[in-house]
Every structure is written in structure tokens, then in C-alpha cells.
Amino acid sequence: MPAPQDGYIVWSGNGYSSYYHESDGIVASFNPSQTTISINQSNNSFPPDHGKIYRYLKQSREYVFELYNGNVPFNLPPIYTFLYDGNPQAAGAFCSTNNCTGLSAQPFGPYIYINPNSGSQIKTISHEYGHKVNFRMWNSSSNKMSNATLSVKEGWAEFFSFALRNYANRNYGDNLLSNRTNAEEAPFYTNRYAGFSYLGTDRKVAAFGSYLWSLYDDPQDDIFLSNTYSIGDNDDITGHSVRVFDAMSAIQIYYLNTIKISHFHNIFKLGLASEEQSSINNVFDFMFDDLYEMPDVSMRSAQVANFSGQVNGSNVDFSWLSQSYPSHLNFANIETGYRLYQSTGSGWNLIQSIPYGTNNFTYHSPFIYADYKITSYNSEGNSANAPVISIQPPTLFVSISGPTNMFQGSSDTFYANVSGGIPPYSYQWYYKHQYDSNWTMVPFATSSTYLHTAGSQPGEFVRVVVTDTAPQNKESEHHFTIIGWAFSQQETEDGGFIPETYALNQNYPNPFNPATVIRFDIPEQSDVLLQVFDVMGRHITTLESATKSAGRHTVSFNAAHLSSGMYIARLRATGLSGEVFIKELKMQLVK
């Protein structure tokens, strides 16, 4: 597509000698081997050695229009560009007002000035044009530019310059300063002319430019290998080239005062899927951790990946993968070695330093079950984002086998069934009655078996706690029903009531759940047998079997362990006179 017009001015003293743009018939050759300008109108002249400046300005503007497919959402008019070969403060500058960097006030603005002696490279020209794009994104607001941090403004301009250089390389064959088509490696060069380095005190400029590029550039897997490098890789962040520009433009809407790097980061993530946001956060953390010291010192050591550990008896066999960059590349993050740490619960204890070139280590200790992490290190310190793994013993499983029913007062054995964990095991048994809140420890029940005697409630529980040498603690509980549990109480009513005949009175309440009361009358001392049967005639329990004096007697029957249905209470009483009384009544249990 033809490059939209941009102005170019040759500055001379306090005025200007010439002004050119495409309406004047100026055509810049886009042959990378030539930098001259051909003039279609004979009355115009253009210094041939300045042709490349005009060419790079046109490329920068064309790049933005092509990115948006010709529909740029912000105003991007031509910008005046001055050559100033005096003694400027830098190779170039962008001025959003009519006066800056010591130049006299001009009757127009904003503008870019370039020192042709030191700033006529594509890096400088595209960098300043990036400031111009930023200025237009923020609605030509000088206040916005003033309120933005140096890291934001210069980091953006560095990113724009690198994006433009890759665009010019791809479309017109211009050489890249780093000779790399994918700039993911560029931040790791210590040469400030290759990649996102910046001659200044704020090293976050390089980090922000690198971060923007990682979001902008679809991965090509030529440096950050997708199968070896995770943190800091942009392999799953794709299709967001335009979004980088849109997010930068949106800052003016969301943030009115100081504009910071974090503002762009938050806006860029809005509306994206959670997994992609997580990847973006990883890239952000990586850039502003490992790149913070760029470009004056070497990087901290490369990170470590694929950290794993396998238990082998009393040993743990660890393995990992180094993520240092290939040795033929000029990077400064080669590790000196590795450091293996074990968690103490409140911190980390260094257990071994391991030489460079090693990717496995066997750790022997009686206490191997813990959390571990590994870092690589060099003279700049440990690597960031150290992977952590947890070495856990085999899971301990415990269950109890034993009777599900016991007769009141009888004894039986319960067994603890144990598997997994790390033997040998220790045991402790407990019991409690059905209506008790607390467990009672059995002092000498410390083996895998326990002999228990049933008590006088409808049901009871036993519990075992097993501990292995890891140590792990697991417990199991077991419930059983007491057969034959009952409660009887003799009483005489009306101060000594003696009935005249035998009687078995209907239980109350009836139906009942789970307990009911049975009353019977005996006129003389008698041998009493009171039993309960189901409707099939099977014996359930004996409530009373004793010699009773004359009077009215009451017995409670608790059927908590029985299922709903009809039950028969049968009374047989044999008096001293020889009289025998037998009677039955029906009782309905409803649960």
C-alpha cells in the first residue's frame, strides 16, 4: 500500500529552508540498498544523504495504517520533522509542544527533530515516531504525556521501534540490528543497540518494551522452545497485535492521573479467558523480575523446568531440565550450578549444591517426606520462580472388622486392617456407648486386635487410631448393636397397691419409637419371664427373668436397634400357689 504523506523539513538557524511531502511529488525509493530521494518536480531539491530519514518516517506511518488495515482509530496526521545538526541533547526527540530540547519556539507543533549526524538510523527515527503515535493515541494530550512514567513512554517507543524494524525487514528486506526475525531473545543482549535496551537509569524501559513485544508477536518457537520453556514464554498468547495498540489507547479512558505500566497490564487482560490471563501474568512477572537489571549487569541464572522426584526406599531420585539458552547465542544467563532445598515448614534448608551440567541427584535421608524446590544460580543469584514439588508417603488405609451384634455382657474381638503407609505401625483403641459424647481410651489396647465386652446400652462404638513412621495418622470406627439390652424398675402404686389378679397391660405408647413401657400385675410372689418375639416367632430379647414380689411392675423396652414392624410381648408368671399366668400383647414399632 502507498505510504500516506509525511512532512520533512530541513532546519536552518531559526527558520527552515525546505518542506517536503508527497504532494510535492517526492517519491522515496524503497530499495534497501538505496537511500536517495527522486524528485518529480524540477524546482525542488532534496539532499540525497537525507533520503533514508524520509524513508523511515514513511515506513513508520505505513506500518500503523497496515496494522489497522487502513482504518486507524485515532487521528494520525502528518508530522513536521526537522533536521538539526547543532548540538542537540540526543540523537532525536519528539516534542508535543511548540518548544523543547533547546530549540526556539516554532509556529507549529508537535514535531520530531533528528540529528543527521547521529540519529539517522531506523532505530532512532522509528523510536521518535513511536512517541508520536502514543501522543495521538491519547488524543494529542500533552498532560497525558507529562503524567505518564518514563517507563511507559520510553518502553512503548522501544517496542514500536522494534516492531517497525521487524515490519521493514519482512516487507522491504531491511536488515535487523540483531539479525533475528523473532525478537524474544533481544532483551538478553547486553549491547544496547540490539534489542530492547535503553540508555538511561530506568531499566524497566527494557522490561516494558520486551513485555509489549511478547504480547504483540505470535510465537515462532525459534528461541523460547515450547517444550522446554514455560515461564516467560508467549507460546499461548496469540492474535493480539492490534490489542496491544488498543490497550495503550484505552489508558486515557481508565486512568486520569499518573499512567503506570500496571495500568496497561490490567487493561490488556480485560475480557480474556482466565488461562490466557494467567499466561499474560507469567510473562509480566518474568519480564519485570529477570529483566529489571538490564542492561548493565548479567541476567540471573536461567530457570529450571520439569522438576520431579521419585521415592526409592529411603532415597528420593530428583531430576530436572535446565532452561539456559543455547551456548552459541550471546546470552549471559548460563548457570554455575543448582541448589536443592527442603522445606522446614517455616522456611527452606539448603541440602545440596549440584554442579553445572547435572540434571539429576539422589537424596538419602531417614526423613524424605517433605516439600522440595530447586533453583539454578550464577554470580547474580538464584533463578526466579523456583519449581516446588511435594514428596508424600504412600497413603495409609485403616478399617475395622468385627461383630455387628453382641449380647449384653459378652466379649468379642475386633481387628484393625492396615495397608499402605510406612510400617511399622502403632495402634490405640477407644470405645464409647451409644449415648456418650466422649471416647474412652483403652490403656493397654495397643495392638492390631482388641477384645471388648459389651455394655448395657442399645449400641456401642469402637475406634482405632493407627500411626506409621512417616508419620501419618489414620483412624476408623465400627458400630455394633447390643442384643438383650433392657431396663426394669419395680414400683408399688398408692403406697402399697396389691392387685387381686394377674394382668399384662397394653404397652404405652403404642405405636412407639424407639422405646415403650410395659406394665404387669402379679397378686403374689411369682417367677416372672417377660420376653419379646417378632411375628415369625423368633426370640428378640428377654426383658425380665426373675422372682418378683406382689405388686405392679414396669419395664422399659428400647427397640432402637430393631426395624419397624409388629412385635409380641409374652408374660409367663408362676405364683407360690402354683397358679400359672400366660398372656401376650402386640406392640407396633414405627420408625
Q: pLDDT tens digit string along 197-247? A: 444 445 677 778 878 877 887 654 444 333 333 334 445 577 788 999 999
In this structure, are 152 and 284 located in the same domain?
A: yes
Confidence of residue 580 (pLDDT cuts 50, 70, 90): very high
Residue 15, exposed/middle/buried by CB under 10 A (0-12, 13-18, 19+)? exposed
Cα angle 558-562-546, degrees, rounded to a multiple of 5: 45
Domain count, the chain: 5
> Which amino acid type is present at position 119?
G
Least confident piece of the model among 247-261, 422-436, 505-519, 567-581: 247-261
98 lies in the same domain as 113 = yes
pTM: 0.48
Q: Is the pLDDT of residue 492 over 80?
A: no
More confident residue, 153 or 188: 153
Highest mean pLDDT among 80-84, 283-287, 335-339, 565-569: 565-569
Shared-domain flag, residues 143 and 153: no
Comparing CA positions, the residue from 243, 235, 224 lying closest to residue 305 is: 224
500 and 566 housed in the same domain: yes
Q: What is the pLDDT of residue 333?
A: 53
Q: What is the band of 353 on the pLDDT scale with cuts at 50, 70, 90?
A: very high
Could you say which of 269, 297, 325 is where a domain stops? Answer: 297
Confidence bin at 38 (pLDDT 50/70/90): very low
318 with 256, same domain?
Answer: no
Tell me which of 365, 390, 415 is where a domain ends.
Answer: 390
Residue 527: per-residue pLDDT: 94
The grid coordinates of residue 34 equal: 538505496
When mean pLDDT is compared over 38-42, 191-195, 271-275, 379-383, the highest value belongs to 271-275
pLDDT at 536 over 80: yes
Q: What is the pLDDT of residue 89?
A: 54
Mean per-residue pLDDT of the chain = 76
Range of the domain at 287: 148-297
Q: Are residues 121 and 184 in the same domain?
A: no
Number of other residues whose CB lies within 10 A of the CB of residue 51: 20
pLDDT (0 to 100) of residue 531: 93
Q: Among 117-131, 421-435, 538-552, which is the least confidently predicted range? A: 117-131
Q: What is residue 187's DSSP assignment?
A: G
Count of CB atoms situated within 10 Å of the CB of 358: 12
Helices (H), 194-273: 204-216, 241-254, 261-269
Q: What is the structure's pLDDT at 21?
A: 54
pLDDT for 289 equals 59
Are 411 and 343 in the same domain? no
Q: Note the pLDDT tens digit of each residue in 556-575.
A: 888 888 889 999 999 999 99
CA dist 537 and 524 (Å) reads 29
CATH number of the domain encompassing residue 575: 2.60.40.2550
148 vs 233, higher pLDDT: 148
Q: What is the CATH number of the domain that holds 356?
A: 2.60.40.10
First to last CA, the chain: 87
> How far is Cα 445 from Cα 442, in angstroms, rounded to an integer?
5
Q: Are residues 320 and 275 in the same domain?
A: no
Helix (H) or strand (E) holding 47: none
Region 460-471: mean pLDDT is 92
Give the SS3 label for residue 149. coil
Q: Residue 92: beta bridge partners?
A: 114
Verify that 171 and 236 share a domain, yes or no: yes
Please identify, among 366, 390, 414, the residue that sits at the C-terminal boundary of a domain: 390
d(CA 155, CA 190): 17
470 and 537 inside one domain: no
Query: Rounded mean pLDDT of 284-300?
Result: 51
In whole angstroms, give the CA distance from residue 9 to residue 20. Answer: 6
421: left (phi over 0), alpha (psi -120 to 50) or beta: left
Residue-wise pLDDT tens digits, 542-553:
888 999 989 888
Q: What is the dihedral angle through the alpha carbons of 524, 526, 529, 530, rounded to the nearest 10 degrees?
A: 20
Q: Do residue 292 and residue 160 come from a single domain? A: yes
The amino acid sitting at 147 is N
Structural element, H or E, at residue 576: none
CA 580 – CA 525 distance, rounded (Å): 12
The neighbour count for residue 503, using CB atoms within 10 Å, is 16
Distance CA 473, CA 470 (A): 9
- Statement: residue 394 has pLDDT above 80: yes
Q: How confident is the model at residue 535 (pLDDT cuts 50, 70, 90)?
A: very high
- Same domain? 329 vs 443: no
